[in-house]
Chains A and B, each alone.
Chain A
């Protein structure tokens, strides 16, 4: 089953941003700012306007009020000093195949590398920041032309600055670091957008009043915390919405179900559950259905297993994926940097936003519950990963 391509615009925003390079560069009087002294960065108001448009489009998709993204300067980074002839050897400091999302993530980058003819120097952090620090040291010795890194935590920032100091361009992939001024670009699906979008949908869904439970993944992990903060700010605007509890479930299906079991006992008539992941949403559906209670409207990112259960129990939901294929876009950015082409300092990765009304367009019944929707990889790759 294929996606509704018209609605799914993965990569389109990024492409549009790149397409606007000319416009940005031709702004004769555009002030040249710096992203940290190392990168020459031309302010590009058109790119920021494009980001605002992306937010508004996604908000319109769910019919929620329009909000501007958090203040963030996006500019075009002059990468001419990194230009060199190919073939390229690009280091990829990855999270490692710790779960199915990460497996698709690695596979997407490797598939893109094959397409572009790039030699990838791969290192798996096994989900651990300390291991990643060691990985980064090992990769640096191999003198890569560029680095694509999936940050496991802020502890790696020192290592990344060493890369920058040695003239190796750094692409931060699917993560958010506090001090990115030395790095050429960051590719990500905005945490703030995901968190606030789901919160606005929940608020609208319950008529801006009622009891809401919030479930996050791992305490202290940026993905969980930034999305939670964004959602909390939205709920704070609606005085008749009561956040009855906020729990962490470590993105573990078992723990999610344990937490949801307790929710079902203490809040049997919740109006909605805001969650940041499909795992949590699965736990909520299982717990409330097992307790023979009405399943509250729920949010989260998009695994095939979540869609399967949501369809089975006719659950009202809003979802937006955090696509593993972002890694391919990161490699594209590194490739462009090495070709001396300017790139935006931040590339927002586009993803579909949909509700239960469109579940049939995205659910892939022939594929594993572990598949992350919308799964842009070719079917042959997904099959080789035992996901379809």
Chain B
């Protein structure tokens, strides 16, 4: 006669196999959903817009993915510790303005300008960290405040009109290609691999997930949660600056309007891929899947000539579907 303990073991074993399977399915649901969405778009493109598959268009899509991916990677680190970074748009603007104002279009001044941009970015990341960790200001409020602060400083610095041009030496970061592969996508790919290694194979990565999943428990276990959270904001800031430099090289102009849209795009990409807003769940490959889906959908809508309304509707639906999938997975647990 089986004892209660035996039944629990048996149940545990049965659930272990099935449970593992279910867990795997759950864990893979969001990125798989994104990839399935990409598959659907690719299929639709084959039918409705064969131009989509031209080398030049695919190259465009991959290039655009590169810019978004770099920012979204930083956002992923912050989201994993249950934070959010609304200052990334401002930091991209800062990188662009620094390039124009310091170099005045001269390649000779490129390195100091880049150095300044990264230093300023790190400083803003530290301010975010100090507010969130040191003063316990909600991340949404803290990073929005620094975004506004950075925008104000840029206005003060430039008087509203950045002078000088973007030096040609930076163009390779945004407009360059190695063979058929755009440089931005190579940079993004390299960063994805590094980030994946850090998050999956290092103690720091473990700390990030543990802090995001349950900060109190992680702190009581002796993990340096404050330093971990602070580091994610600095990483996010530095990657936002890098994206700003890349975009400067691509456009060749200081683009202050862009700062308003990239905040939400980077968050959307991470969430669509399956990184949780509540922390502790997600990862760089999920973000990559989200970036891929958003970039492909946007490009396909433009090719289809869907118009602004169509583009916004489809993008909105994609985000809603992704969040619904996340919520379903959470309820099941």
Contact = CB atoms under 8 A, between A and B. Distances in A.
Interface string B272-287: 0000000000000000
Interface stretch (B13-21, B34-42, B53-61): B53-61
Contacts of B303: 262, 266
Given A259-B302, A262-B303, A253 B252 contact: yes
Contact of B60 (A261, A279, A369): A261
A158 to B, nearest CB: 26
B contact residues, range:
35 or more
A99 B161 contact: yes
B218 to A, nearest CB: 39
Interface string A255-269: 101110110111000
A67 interface: no
B125 to A, nearest CB: 23
B161 A250 contact: no
Given A103-B160, A262-B303, A265-B57, A257 B250 contact: yes
B257 A97 contact: no
A252 B254 CA distance: 9
A180 interface: no
Contacts of A96: 160
Given A251-B257, A255-B258, A282-B253, A370 B162 contact: yes
Interface of B: 49, 51, 54, 56-57, 60, 63-64, 155, 158-165, 175, 247, 250-258, 261, 299, 302-303, 305, 307-308
A255 B298 CA distance: 12
26 contacts: A97-B159, A98-B256, A99-B256, A106-B160, A219-B308, A245-B302, A245-B305, A246-B305, A246-B307, A251-B257, A253-B251, A253-B253, A255-B257, A255-B258, A257-B250, A257-B251, A262-B60, A265-B54, A266-B49, A266-B51, A266-B303, A286-B252, A368-B163, A369-B165, A370-B162, A370-B163
B56 A252 contact: no
Interface in A60-113: 96-100, 102-104, 106
Contact of B258 (A244, A254, A286): A254
Given A253-B253, A253-B255, A97 B160 contact: yes
In this complex, the member of B164, B247, B254, B255 whose beta carbon has the largest number of chain A beta carbons within 10 angstroms is: B255
Contacts of A261: 60, 63
Contact of A265 (B51, B256, B307, B308): B51
A262 B250 CA distance: 14
Interface string A43-74: 00000000000000000000000000000000
A25 interface: no
B259 to A, nearest CB: 10
A165 interface: no
Contacts of B251: 253-254, 257
Of the listed residues A97, A100, A245, A265, the one surrounded by the most CB atoms of chain B closer than 10 A to its CB is A265
Contacts of B155: 97
A187 B261 CA distance: 31
A130 to B, nearest CB: 14
Contacts of B158: 386
A102 B160 contact: yes
Nearest to B312: A219
A264 B56 contact: yes
Nearest to B56: A265
A265 to B, nearest CB: 4
